[in-house]
Structure 1
Amino acid sequence: MRLINIALVVVLTVHSTFSVDKNNFKTCEQSGFCKRLRNLKPEKSQYSLNLDSVFVHGNVLSAEVITVNHDTENKNVLWHYALKLSALVDGTFRVEIDEAEPLYPRYRTQLSLDGEPKPDSLKLVSKENGQITVSNSQGYKVVIRAEPLKFTFLDKNGEEAVVLNDNAQLFVEPLRVKNSGDEENAVESDEGAWSESFKSHHDSKPRGNEAVSLDVAFPDADQVYGIPEHTDKLNLATTTSGEPYRLYNLDVFEFELDSRMAIYGAIPVLYAHGSKRTVGVFWHNSAETWVDIVNYGDETVVGSLVNLVTGGQKRRVDARLMSESGIVDVFVMMGDRPSDVFRQYTKLTGVAPLPPRFSLAYHQSRWNYVDEADVRAVDEGFDEHDVPADVLWLDIEYTDGKKYFTWDPIKFPHPAEMVANLTAKGRKMVVIIDPHIKREAGYFLHEDATEMGLYVKNKDGKDYDGWCWPGSSSYLDFFNPAVIKYYTERYKFQNFPGTSKDVHIWNDMNEPSVFNGPEITMPKDCRHYKSPQDGEEGIASFWEHRHVHNEYGLSYIKGTHEGMMARTDAHYRPFILSRAVFAGTQRFAAVWTGDNMAEWGFLAASVPMCLSLATAGVSFCGSDVGGFFKYPDAELMTRWYQAGAFQAFFRAHSHIETKRREPWLYDATTLARIRDAVRRRYALLDFWYTLFYEHSIDGLPVTRPLFQQYPQEQQTYTIDNTYLLGDKLLVSPVVEAGVSSVKVYLPGRERRELWYDVDTFQQHSANGHIHQDVNIGKIPVYQRGGTIIPRKERVRRSSTLMTNDPYTLLAALDVNGTAEGTLYIDDGETFDYKSNKYIYAKITFSPDAMTYKLQNNAHYPTRTWVERIVVAGIKTAPKSAQLIQGESRSALHMTIHRGNDVLVVRKPGAKMAADWEIRFTY
């Protein structure tokens, strides 16, 4: 036990230094495959297409690819590969290159896709002059040059949009037999061919080198985006003078800003954007991945040389993706606008399902609320100080000795009663469940996992033993169907006493984090379950952790999701929060940006970090309000609440060693400002809920970069401190101390957009940057002219208690005096909406009438109604207004505020369960 305590003290000491120890994490030079592949830069690709092997059937072109030794007179064929090019719906293509007859199967990523992609047709257009041309049903073409191999994807105008292997950086290292002496002799000069070491950790590499690489060129692109999670800007930087971007899920204590280092998330999707088009590539690979970027428009040495040679600036961005294992499996998404390509990506990996409504409200957390009395005091504190809150969170200390699915018998002896006290007020609870399982005799989960063989194995086939919060720990292997079955059962209410449908789950440390492991994670040569195949023995009978690493957190939250669904027979929607992120995570969980600090830079970084995740399918994102480490002063805390109120996931959270910081522990003035920020969020909950419903239907980000809505406006391409919620609100959080004015960009000059300050209804014409005066109580938020937003102004202590409260509809008019919006309503917690028990309505305003029309044949018996309509930008006030709903007609009372051209219709009383219209006369 003393050893456990010593280990945990060391970890906590590291947590207290407040600076990342880079020595714990690899550079490209220290990562064998990255160093090896990055240094390989041939002038000509060794890969060629065998034209005689080409066969097109249905939506697939298949062919043989060979590698050729160009240094020999006879061009000896070295290796054979199988090429498969598939046409998929919505203008997406898939390119797969695998060994034709591998020594044993290479790993193919299993969990990121949301089902099998839907096929499109593929037609052979021509086969001549050493190349093949095929096209899909939408008119996109792919030209495949045979020697050296190159793939050119043409847009509908016949222009090059994406090019694969233009820079001859396609490599698929073939699997080989390990002969005696290979490891000592470094076969064929391959550094670390059969083993590799980092610090004191040794990786046995039983399969040898098996890396893959591909270069992707984006002609006419100005910027590239994506590959979250990183802490630099939204638009990706040229990497030639430094480290590539790294995608490898890691628990990086006190991660630093403006860095390309790997942290908790790894989503290998890239988007390229310019005024001509937007395109994307999804690198379907779950192994450690490094990405180099060269933007020829950057002011770099490379860019300057190219400009000198070409006689001007070259509009093109090149990327190179390098992974430790797997096959070449890349989806090319042809766009051609940002919204198109974002939809294409979520068609592949899925959308966030409609979350329970409470999860969009305010969450209060800390490591840790110490006991039931503490939980009760915090709960009552929100009521006493009139601050709304929906969820209280418990970190690891609620458990019995850090054994998950248990409660501390002294500190939390009555969990069911504690939860019931919260739910009586409409509140919920979230408790943490981490993947590390305490290796303690008598702990049922450990005993079961040991007996049933459910743990990840080490390189020797024994249960892997690592160190995390409980000390000695093992990890369930969620790639094993038996683990999923067993783990799902753990969430049943009878197996987790004290929980109910109102207790939800937080999955932390699921990269996985292993304190004594290489790079604070699991060794790459650990073994995972593999479906048995006839005749497969030895290393062919399991997958290594190196193959599945970035998928592990996804496999874990998928298991949690199945357990949460099963406990209520799939009646209630679960809420899950995950720290590890991979492609497809959005189907199961929300995410947060990890263990940030109470510093202004981390507040500022939360905006591009969540924007980047949103473009990669993960809209349900936020940061720890106030910062996890350190203590925010009153100004920083105020600004963080104001920013958090306009991020999808809104949670305050802090480290166990920090000073308590519930809102009422600040001075009265700061408390009032925090209360105002939280109340702003609650007033807009139905707007957020509608956005998430629409995301679940069309796949577009809830939180959007400006270039998504204004793709021709070049000034938006590098703006990442300002963003849109849907296409209706523009938000620019204040992220600097002591400012009285901030610079905000208002897009849409060519569209003659109008923007309305949500606090004053002051109207601004889109004209680029403006200087917005701010005080400590204000951040710049604008509603776009031409939109209608639903609000609920009767803010109560939890969102549940606001269910039947009336709406205020806020219409901001465009230059034509019109506006439109939408509203989604259901019960907020069940899956009944899938049985048509919901309302989705379109609201329109013109000078003659305002209409509310149901867009579905569903029925939901809501008791909500309209208590107020506010119209901003009214130029000519109507003389009268009449509500028409069914057979009923009633005159309405209106007032006009000439100072800011605002019309207010008071208490029209229109019901949300049926169509209605308000007619204006002049």
Structure 2
Amino acid sequence: MGQSMSIFFVIFLLINCVFSWKKDEFRNCNQTPFCKRARSRKPGACSLFATDISVREGDLVAKLIQSEKGVENSENQEHPITSKPLVLTLSIYQDAVLRLKIDEDRSLGPRKKRFEVPDVILPEFLEKRLWLQRVKEEESHDGSGTLSIFYLSDGYEGVIRHDPFEVFVRESGKNGKKVLSLNSNGLFDFEQLKDKKEENEDWEERFRSHTDTRPYGPQSISFDVSFYEADFVYGIPEHATSLALKPTRGPGVEDSEPYRLFNLDVFEYLHDSPFGLYGTIPLMISHGNSRGSSGFFWLTAAEMQIDVLGPGWNDEFSSVLRLPSDQKRIDTFWMTEAGVVDAFFFVGPGPKDVVRQYTGVTGTPALPQLFAIAYHQCRWNYRDEEDVYNVDSKFDEHDIPYDVLWLDIEHTDGKRYFTWDRALFPNPDEMQTKLAAKGRHMVTIVDPHIKRDDSYYIHKEASQKGYYVKDATGKDFDGWCWSGSSSYLDMLNPEIRSWWSGKFSFDNYIGSTPSLHIWNDMNEPSVFNGPEVSMPRDALHYGDVEHRELHNAYGYYFHMATSDGLVKRMEGKERPFVLSRAFFPGSQRYGAVWTGDNTAEWEHLRVSVPMILTLSLTGISFSGADVGGFFGNPDTELLVRWYQLGAYYPFFRGHAHHDTKRREPWLFGERNMELMREAIHVRYMLLPYFYTLFREANTSGIPVARPLWMEYPSDVNTFSNDEAFMVGDALLVQGIYTERAKHVPVYLPGDQSWFDMKTGAAYKGGATHKLEALEDSIPAFQRAGTIIPRKDRFRRSTTQMENDPYTLVIALNSSKAAVGELYVDNGKSFEFQQGAYIHRRFKFWNGKLTSSNLAPLGSGHNKFASECIVERIILLGLSPQPKTALIEPANQKVDIEWGPLLLRGGKSSSVLTIRKPNVRIADDWTIKIS
């Protein structure tokens, strides 16, 4: 009894130590040796020069050799520069993508190969490599030395400067302006792997009570990247900061940390902080009014720190750097602990071009099932089956739709995943079946820490097969998490991922049904008694890879294996839904992510928008924030405002910590419940539009939620606006982020009108409007010139909406024209990949609304059919008042109504409504209005 109580007390202390942000539990740059060393370097310190430049098998290959002066200058440093040459390779790909790799020369050692991240880059991208034919040499027009130049794409060239080495992309021509460059400021450094020469040589690093043995010594890489003609830079999630990244070094910037990219389990994270959170995507996108956008992506899974360098940071070195004086730029400094240089230059020039180029490398987002983009209800934890049934029935009683009910860790038998606490959930399959009868689904949590219990079949099998990550001594790593003493599967190994995916079969996951989906939490990985609440960096993975080398990708491989498991269990017949907290480039191919353990504060409501937009810019379209805040008890006004904003998140889920008060919508009084119900209804009404946008993301990479400047790349007023966002190209949403707000300013870009979604009122573009902050909604506007498909009948769930008719909302521009699209498939299978879908284009022009087919003709096109009709058409901005509507080719007249709507401020407006045209969405047709 005494021993078990002691173990319980240890677990209690470990768990509670991570329940809130404690600054001293995490390292800053000065406590991180590679970051501290890199930041101490001065511009121009790099003395590497490129030599032996040639074309080999279609790539440009060169050696980077240290000058004699560089070796001499490094002799007194703590970690002297090695004189061994590095190998540089430049490859070009379709769509103007330049890839740069720099690694050690394997023919000269070392005995260990540096880690290159597998299974991220698409095989089909590699097939798009272009064969470099020739390289020409010329002298730089600014006198900076010899250049080797090669064709990248129409209008762009790749260039390598020889001494000191620099790689950049420029517009074609000898005097072409630079777009992107690496090592223009001479900050490149590459610490090569070593073997210990003396027994007393000490490479260990210590932080708090933890020691990192660092068996191969320091192996960091750092360099500067410059973005030319840029006004702002964005990206590198995940941080709770503004969308436009703020300078972290330079004049006027004091005591600022770099943006940290290191996946960590951070409870109650701070808003407006550069500190790393749960996921990592080392992609930065620049944007400026004069040229447009460009992007830089570094594929490495080790810890990374990135400085955004403010204007004037290197003024005292400008005379020796030979930087172009006729181009403005933003300089950045990238530092990582390990890995290789495997970097990609994206030239844009538009923001959508950069996103397309990046997702061409790492993959476009998966198309989710329709239910997954509806409303999710979650809590840590719904107590038992009775609680589940009660919550489910209350949604019906109060006419609030929802599609998914979630169960957190307390549903398991002693935190053993793939099990059920049979006292609380005696009939889990029956429970899921009853929800499924209403068209609803369930999600259960499956985390990566495996309880070390010999009676637990997962642990027993994994232990026998040697499937766990090892510690530095070669034993199974043993850490603490929710289940107590735990080990972690080595997901880098494809064999182990395959084994794991098999555990989701109905035979293995007893009590699961086809309507059950999965939530991967704590997969950074979280280790309560580990350094920085994570796994030691010297733990060992498949292929003798240290954890330091792949840390940021661990959750990605876990997410991948889980997603594959759901596909396997359904024999490839249904798309999986898996939510993951940790993420990495490529995570978009496997499911959704969310922004983690936020707090019920107005500041966290506000920062949710730039966090989601940053994820969207970097490939992850399917993301959201916990509505209401995970920690704390939101006041009712905050909760209502969060539902009103969350209804426009790509991923829409209410979630809360078990120490918070229950917060289902009906617990806050009749009026507040009505407001939350209305917000959820807005989401369900717009599901056809959202699903169409998710399909666009799936085919092109263009995200569902977009910063204003993605749609208005020349409007400087949008560049730093992260309180409003676009949903697709047709909707603009402005959150309300202050308590008891009376008015809210809304900037509406462009030279066209915008129509209030709720009232139909028209507002002028290119201006800021001071609007009344109404309690029943947040400002949302439809852009003139667009058509939005909706479903206006409210049901219990998306399944029950399947055959409901559509409404088309047409917002006319000054030319009395508008366009829009509708994508429909069966909402769950992979048959759309064989052409089983409907894709329509709606166009209003010259008084006619036409529906035409966008799906390619072929054998698969007829595999999906729908009898759904359009039951209503609403036209905004139409005058003079028409009198008749004629459907062609049926030559059928339909009713037209012209009616007033109550507007903000008590004004009135009128919209035209065509009722019951009853044309099928699958058909070609025209409706002529006169």
- TM-score, normalized by length of structure 1? 0.94
Q: Is the Cα contact below 8 Å between 1:620 and 1:648 reproduced in 2?
A: yes
2:102 matched residue in structure 1: 97
Task: Give the match's secondary structure for 1:375.
Answer: helix
> How far has the Cα of 1:3 moved from its partner?
3.9
Q: What do residues 680-727 of structure 1 show as CA deviations (whole Å, max 9, x unaligned)?
A: 100001110000001111111111111111111111111111110111
Distance 1:618 1:65 in 2: 36
1:512-661 paired onto structure 2 within 5 Å: 512-530=525-543, 542-661=544-663
* 1:170 counterpart = 2:188: yes
Matching residue within 870, 894, 902 for 1:866 = 870
* 1:417 counterpart = 2:416: no
* 1:110 counterpart = 2:118: yes
> How far has the Cα of 1:481 moved from its partner?
2.3
1:810-825 paired onto structure 2 within 5 Å: 810-825=809-824
Task: Give the match's secondary structure for 2:689.
Answer: helix
Task: Give the match's secondary structure for 2:54.
Answer: strand
1:846-885 paired onto structure 2 within 5 Å: 846-856=845-855, 857=857, 858-859=861-862, 860-885=864-889
Distance 2:639 2:165 in 1: 56
Q: Is the Cα contact below 8 Å between 2:95 and 2:153 reproduced in 1?
A: no
Q: Is the Cα contact below 8 Å between 2:190 and 2:222 reproduced in 1?
A: yes
- TM-score, normalized by length of structure 2? 0.93
> How far has the Cα of 1:11 moved from its partner?
4.2
> How far has the Cα of 1:125 moved from its partner?
4.8
CA-based RMSD of the aligned residues comes to 2.1
1:150 matched residue in structure 2: 166
1:780 matched residue in structure 2: 779
Distance 2:181 2:489 in 1: 41
1:204 matched residue in structure 2: 213
Q: Give the residue type in structure 1 aligned to 2:87.
A: A
Deviates more, 1:465-474 or 1:132-141: 132-141
1:25 matched residue in structure 2: 26
Distance 1:8 1:74 in 2: 51
Name the CA shift for 1:849/1:515 in 2 (closer, same or farther; >3 Å): same
Q: Give the residue type in structure 2 aligned to 1:253.
A: F
1:358-507 paired onto structure 2 within 5 Å: 358-507=371-520
1:24-173 paired onto structure 2 within 5 Å: 24-50=25-51, 53-57=52-56, 59-70=58-69, 78-101=83-106, 102-103=109-110, 104-115=112-123, 116-117=125-126, 118-129=128-139, 130-156=146-172, 158-173=176-191
Q: Is the Cα contact below 8 Å between 2:71 and 2:82 reproduced in 1?
A: no
Distance 1:615 1:920 in 2: 40
Q: Is the Cα contact below 8 Å between 2:368 and 2:591 reproduced in 1?
A: no
Distance 1:729 1:881 in 2: 27
Task: Give the match's secondary structure for 1:624.
Answer: coil
> How far has the Cα of 1:639 moved from its partner?
0.3
Distance 2:373 2:660 in 1: 26
Q: Is the Cα contact below 8 Å between 1:66 and 1:77 reproduced in 2?
A: no
Q: What do residues 536-561 of structure 1 show as CA deviations (whole Å, max 9, x unaligned)?
A: xxxxxx00000000000000000001
> How far has the Cα of 1:305 moved from its partner?
11
Q: Give the residue type in structure 1 aligned to 2:228.
A: P
Aligned residues between the structures: 888
1:537 matched residue in structure 2: none
1:663-742 paired onto structure 2 within 5 Å: 663-742=665-744
Q: Give the residue type in structure 2 aligned to 1:60.
A: D
2:796 matched residue in structure 1: 797
Deviates more, 1:71-80 or 1:733-742: 71-80
Task: Give the match's secondary structure for 1:124.
Answer: coil
2:272 matched residue in structure 1: 258
Distance 2:923 2:555 in 1: 44
1:535 matched residue in structure 2: none
Distance 1:258 1:305 in 2: 31
Q: Give the residue type in structure 1 aligned to 2:395.
A: F
Distance 2:303 2:820 in 1: 43
Q: What do residues 570-610 of structure 1 show as CA deviations (whole Å, max 9, x unaligned)?
A: 10011010000111111102011101111111111100000
Task: Give the match's secondary structure for 1:319.
Answer: strand
> How far has the Cα of 1:77 moved from its partner?
8.8
Q: What do residues 18-71 of structure 1 show as CA deviations (whole Å, max 9, x unaligned)?
A: x51010100001111111111122534211111xx2222564111222122316
Name the CA shift for 1:71/1:507 in 2 (closer, same or farther; >3 Å): closer
Deviates more, 1:97-106 or 1:563-572: 97-106
Task: Give the match's secondary structure for 1:79.
Answer: coil
> How far has the Cα of 1:181 moved from its partner?
4.1
* 1:243 counterpart = 2:251: no
Runs of at least 5 residues in structure 1 that lack an aligned partner in the other structure: 185-193, 531-541
Runs of at least 5 residues in structure 2 that lack an aligned partner in the other structure: 75-80, 140-145, 901-907
Deviates more, 1:827-836 or 1:422-431: 827-836
Q: Give the residue type in structure 1 aligned to 2:49.
A: S
Q: Is the Cα contact below 8 Å between 2:149 and 2:160 reproduced in 1?
A: yes
Distance 1:49 1:125 in 2: 14
Name the CA shift for 1:396/1:211 in 2 (closer, same or farther; >3 Å): same
Task: Give the match's secondary structure for 1:90.
Answer: coil
Distance 1:310 1:179 in 2: 41
Q: Is the Cα contact below 8 Å between 1:789 and 1:821 reproduced in 2?
A: yes
Q: Is the Cα contact below 8 Å between 1:625 and 1:641 reproduced in 2?
A: yes
Task: Give the match's secondary structure for 1:95.
Answer: strand
Q: What do residues 231-267 of structure 1 show as CA deviations (whole Å, max 9, x unaligned)?
A: 1101111111311000000001111111001110111
Q: Give the residue type in structure 2 aligned to 1:741.
A: H
Deviates more, 1:409-418 or 1:847-856: 847-856
Q: Give the residue type in structure 2 aligned to 1:39.
A: S
Distance 1:878 1:339 in 2: 38
1:824-843 paired onto structure 2 within 5 Å: 824-843=823-842
> How far has the Cα of 1:152 moved from its partner?
2.4
* 1:293 counterpart = 2:296: no
Distance 1:575 1:873 in 2: 40
Task: Give the match's secondary structure for 2:464.
Answer: helix
Distance 1:142 1:313 in 2: 20
Distance 1:278 1:590 in 2: 26
Task: Give the match's secondary structure for 1:259.
Answer: coil
Distance 2:10 2:663 in 1: 28
Name the CA shift for 1:769/1:295 in 2 (closer, same or farther; >3 Å): farther
Distance 1:768 1:121 in 2: 49
Distance 2:316 2:682 in 1: 48
> How far has the Cα of 1:123 moved from its partner?
4.3
1:895-910 paired onto structure 2 within 5 Å: 895-897=897-899, 899-910=908-919
Name the CA shift for 1:3/1:268 in 2 (closer, same or farther; >3 Å): farther
Q: Is the Cα contact below 8 Å between 1:350 and 1:584 reproduced in 2?
A: yes
Name the CA shift for 1:394/1:74 in 2 (closer, same or farther; >3 Å): closer
1:761-780 paired onto structure 2 within 5 Å: 761-780=760-779
Distance 1:513 1:901 in 2: 56
Q: Give the residue type in structure 1 aligned to 2:231.
A: D
Distance 1:463 1:808 in 2: 59
Identity of aligned residues (%): 43
Name the CA shift for 1:641/1:11 in 2 (closer, same or farther; >3 Å): farther
Q: Is the Cα contact below 8 Å between 2:55 and 2:135 reproduced in 1?
A: no
Q: Give the residue type in structure 2 aligned to 1:91.
A: A
Task: Give the match's secondary structure for 1:844.
Answer: strand
Deviates more, 1:174-183 or 1:860-869: 174-183
Distance 1:468 1:206 in 2: 27
> How far has the Cα of 1:112 moved from its partner?
2.5
Matching residue within 360, 363, 366 for 1:353 = 366
